[in-house]
Amino acid sequence: MNVVFKSTYYTLYQSTAERRYYIDFGQKMVRISLCELLSLRHKIMSISIEDHFDSDLNSHGFEVLMLCNKEHLFILNTLEVLDLKTLIDNGFVALGLSARAGALI
Amino acid sequence: MKDIARQSMSIKVESMDLLNGQIKMEAHASATYLAMASWCEQNGFFTSAKFFFKQAEEEREHMMKIFNFLVDTGGNPISPEVTNINHDYSSIVDVFESTLEHEVKVTKSIHNIVMKSRELGDLATEKFLDWFVLEQVEEENTIRDILDMIEVTGTEGVGLQMIDTHVANWIE
Ligand SMILES: [Fe+2]
Ligand SMILES: [Fe+2]
């Protein structure tokens, strides 16, 4: 397995033999297809991080994230969400599917 | 590291995002024309209603064209959320003027994606949008012609009903 990108908390790997990707979430390793990775990217992009700084809109500053068609469930705090954004963003650049760095931020 | 990602997906994610935005815009256009059809029906402009029912269908076809392009290129097409549909119009002239405004907005959005995909060197997306660029010329022209007809006919007396009858000329 090759490391595609490593952020502060997470690492994205590519397994060429399996034609799959893996995300090391620290407590759990998740096997993920490119479609599921695209879907994760969409979910992460749809999170309104501004709401985390407004106690009316997001009182506890957490996001519930379901992955791989409801196979996994994660609860992320603000910093983890931002870090996952960084991972996905740079991951897609490293995979050659994104034209520029900082696309998601 | 072998480039297996590129083998599964043939456009850049930035193009995909822009095209998903356009899917949303076409869905919004479709819903807006349906609202206009409803207004026309309720206000006795039955031919115009027919025109907008057809427009609503066409916009949905545009949406599906982009949706299928994202499927073909291995992207992640997103079924759009459609909100904020206006149902209030002050007159049939207002309806057609809003239509032209809406179409111009769509044209600008498509041109923007063409320019961005050119910047990204995304030839597939750029070529795919050729059809949309020309379609927008047609659509704008149709609405401009209807607005010209409205101006010539005038809205006094039986003018409004004559306008409605004349709209039939633009229903293929
Ligand atoms: Fe359209
Ligand atoms: Fe249109």
Mean pLDDT, rounded, for A3-17: 96
- Cβ of A97 within 8 Å of Cβ of B2? The answer is no
One-character DSSP codes across B91-133: SHHHHHHHHHHHHHHHHHHHHHHHHHHHHHT-HHHHHHTHHHH
In this complex, is the C-beta atom of B81 within 8 Å of any C-beta atom belonging to chain A?
no
User: Residue B113 pLDDT more than 60?
Assistant: yes
In a domain, B72, yes or no: yes
Q: Is B87 helix (H, G, I), strand (E, B) or coil?
A: coil
Take residue A60 and report the two structure tokens written for it.
């506890």
Q: How far apart are CA A12 and CA A29, in angstroms?
A: 10
Residue range A44-101, pLDDT digits in tens: 999 888 888 888 888 777 888 888 778 889 999 999 999 999 999 999 999 999 986 4
Contact at CB, B9 and A34, closer than 8 angstroms: yes
Task: Name the pTM for this structure.
Answer: 0.91
B76 and B9 Cβ atoms separated by less than 8 Å: no
Residue B5 maps to a domain: no
Residue A103 clears pLDDT 50, i.e. is over it: no
A14 Cβ neighbours under 8 A, 6+ residues apart: A1, A2, A4, A20, A21, A22, A95, B1, B4, B5
Residue B89 lies in a domain: yes
Domain that holds residue B151: 11-170
Tell whether B79 is covered by a domain: yes
Residue B139 inside a domain? The answer is yes
Residue B4 domain-assigned (yes or no) = no
In this model, does residue B97 exceed pLDDT 90? yes
Using the Cβ of A104 and the Cβ atoms of chain B, whether some distance falls under 8 Å is answered with no
In this predicted structure, what is the pLDDT of residue A100?
67
Q: Is B81 left (phi over 0), alpha (psi -120 to 50) or beta?
A: beta
Question: Which of B4, B13, B78 is nearest residue A16 as measured by Cβ atoms?
Answer: B4
CATH number of the domain encompassing residue B64: 1.20.1260.10
Number of domains in chain B: 1
Q: Where are the domains of chain A?
A: 2-95
Query: Does residue B58 lie in a domain region?
Result: yes
Alpha helix (H) ranges present in A1-105? Answer: 34-46, 78-94
pLDDT of residue B28: 98
User: What's the residue count for chain A?
Assistant: 105
Q: How far is CA B13 from CA A15, A94, B20, B124, in A?
A: 21, 12, 10, 13
